């Protein structure tokens, strides 16, 4: 399908690297420590981290090669994510 997965968080690169190693992630983890991209997509959740820090709101996007957002899944809970079959179905329509 030509889909590529990437995750963006406010975590510094070394934190994301450790998480990827621990969890066996093979997709790209990007660091947005200043939350510039997170703010651009209106995903900042101020003070939501256990420490009171700002974090990204849970969300998944499918963005086409031209940069257009083709599908969005927004949730209020970090434990709720799109299922692989949902992503594949949405990606098939791109």
The reported pLDDT for the residue numbered 68 is 86
Q: Where are the domains of the chain?
A: 6-92
Q: Is the pLDDT of residue 78 over 80?
A: no
Q: How confident is the model at residue 32 (pLDDT cuts 50, 70, 90)?
A: very high
The reported pLDDT for the residue numbered 20 is 93
Q: CA–CA distance from 2 to each of 5, 18, 31, 62, 89 (Å)?
A: 10, 27, 23, 11, 13
Instruction: Look at the domain 6-92 and name its fold.
Output: Glutaredoxin (3.40.30)
The reported pLDDT for the residue numbered 82 is 85
The reported pLDDT for the residue numbered 18 is 95
Q: Is the pLDDT of residue 94 over 80?
A: no
pLDDT digits (tens, 9 = 90+) for 8-25: 888 899 999 999 999 999
CA distance 4 to 63: 10
CB distance 39 to 51 below 8 Å:
no
Q: Is the pLDDT of residue 58 over 80?
A: yes
């Amino acid at each position: 399908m030509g889909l590529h997965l990437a995750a963006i968080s406010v975590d510094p690169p070394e934190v994301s690297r450790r998480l990827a190693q621990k969890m066996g992630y093979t997709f790209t983890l990007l660091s947005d420590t200043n939350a510039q991209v997170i703010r651009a997509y209106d995903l900042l959740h101020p003070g939501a981290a256990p420490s009171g820090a700002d974090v990204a709101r849970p969300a998944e996007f499918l963005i086409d090669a031209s940069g257009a957002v083709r599908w969005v899944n927004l949730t209020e809970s970090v434990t709720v994510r799109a299922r692989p079959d949902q992503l594949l179905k949405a990606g098939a329509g791109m």
